[in-house]
Amino acid sequence: MQRRAFLHNLAAVGAISCLPISIQRSLAAEAGAVSVDELPKLEGDLTLYLGRGEGGLYENVLEAIRKRNPNLNLQIRRGATAALANSIVAEAKAGVRRADVFWAVDSGAVGLVSDAGLARPLPADLTGQLKPGFRYPQWAPVSGRIRTLPYNTERLTPDQIPDSVMALADSEFAIGWAPAYASFQSFVTAMRLLQGEKATEEWLRGVSRNATSYAGELGVVMAVERGEVDLGFANHYYTLRLKNGKPDAKVDLAFTNNDAGCLVNASGILALSEGDLPINFIRYLLTREVQSYLATEAYEIPLVNGVKPPQGLPPLSTISPPKVDLTQLADLRPTLNLMRRVGVL
């Protein structure tokens, strides 16, 4: 019901607010998420490079935006986030601009494009809608995901799980992980930035002694629930989605404290071409309707002020993630080299 209501509300062609855009933007900066009814219509040609993610839910958002804006000619190029980021940089070096907007499922890819000097500055009223700690001058986080330790509730109790991710290297827990998964690699990159390469290498070697690899982090969470492993490493939403479909699932979430194990990463979007259209398109993704939809359906964390977090996740204020500039996660090559050297890739 909530999904249908979102799609109806966002796509409806009802009257747009008559407030001057300057007032709308002021309200956005002061009050957090605004409604799509307060935004201008989108008109013209726009090419979006879209990183794959969230099982079609992002596609639902884009289709609703299309229906609401019949004069918007939205062309979408889909692909793996990292590959699209590399394409944008390569196209720029060749003197070609094909993308107007880039929506990436991982902030490291955003950082790659931003570091190449290709992102347009965003207006302060747009970034001002975002929660403190997620305001960047050249890109807008759309939704967040926190690294967690899903654990089997029949094999472990919460007090058995250390609050330091580094301690797991010396534990005898059976651990599930997905080293080839992009979010895991961003997590290892954060560890490398926070703890140094030597400590990260020792951690990878220690954990690998008792680790079982899976193709993705949904597979990790399902293995934890089946009791194949004691705990694992995964973004929070895989556990919440599993529990939504299976309320008696034998899995729950644990969080580490102020280290890479509870990193809050984000999908993000940036504008690559001039004009109002790319910026106003980004505004749609920060509306109350889109943010609520992603929280309800994808169990992602809304990063705009005033939108409720997904059910089953503690408030961010009760979690202690590390202070990391998410764009620094673009420095992935040393991480991949390290993981290959250790033998986990």
Spatial separation of the C-alpha atoms in residues 53 and 102, rounded to whole Å = 13
pLDDT value at 13 more than 60: no
Residue of 32, 29, 2 whose CA lies nearest to 307: 32
Both 211 and 257 in one domain: the answer is yes
Is residue 61 domain-shared with residue 124, that is, in the same domain? yes
CATH code at 297?
A: 3.40.190.10
Pairing of strands 234-235, 140-152: antiparallel
The whole-number pLDDT of residue 133 equals 87
Residues in the annotated binding site for Fe cation: 237-238
The larger pLDDT score, comparing residue 107 to residue 48, is at: 48
Burial of residue 88, with CB atoms counted within 10 A of its CB: 0-12 exposed, 13-18 middle, 19 or more buried:
buried
Considering the chain, what is the average pLDDT of its residues? 89
Does residue 16 have a pLDDT over 60? no
pLDDT, tens digit, for every residue of 308-318? 999 889 887 88
- Annotated binding-site positions: 237-238
pLDDT digits (tens, 9 = 90+) for 331-343: 889 999 999 999 9
Mean pLDDT, range 238-259, rounded to an integer: 96
User: Is residue 85 within 8 Å of residue 333, measured between CB atoms?
Assistant: no
Query: 197 pLDDT exceeds 80?
Result: yes
Domains contained in the chain, number: 2
- 129 and 192 belong to one structural domain: no
Q: Mean per-residue pLDDT for 146-169?
A: 97
In this structure, are 50 and 63 located in the same domain?
yes
Q: Domain check: are 40 and 84 in the same one?
A: yes
Q: Domain of 8?
A: 2-144+265-315
pLDDT at 24 over 50: no
Does residue 178 share a domain with residue 86? no
Q: Are residues 117 and 164 in the same domain?
A: no
* Statement to judge: residues 99 and 179 lie in one domain: no
Task: Say yes or no: 130 and 159 in one domain.
Answer: no
> Are residue 43 and residue 172 in the same domain, yes or no?
no
Are residues 35 and 106 both part of a single domain? yes
Asked whether residue 217 falls in the same domain as residue 173, the answer is: yes
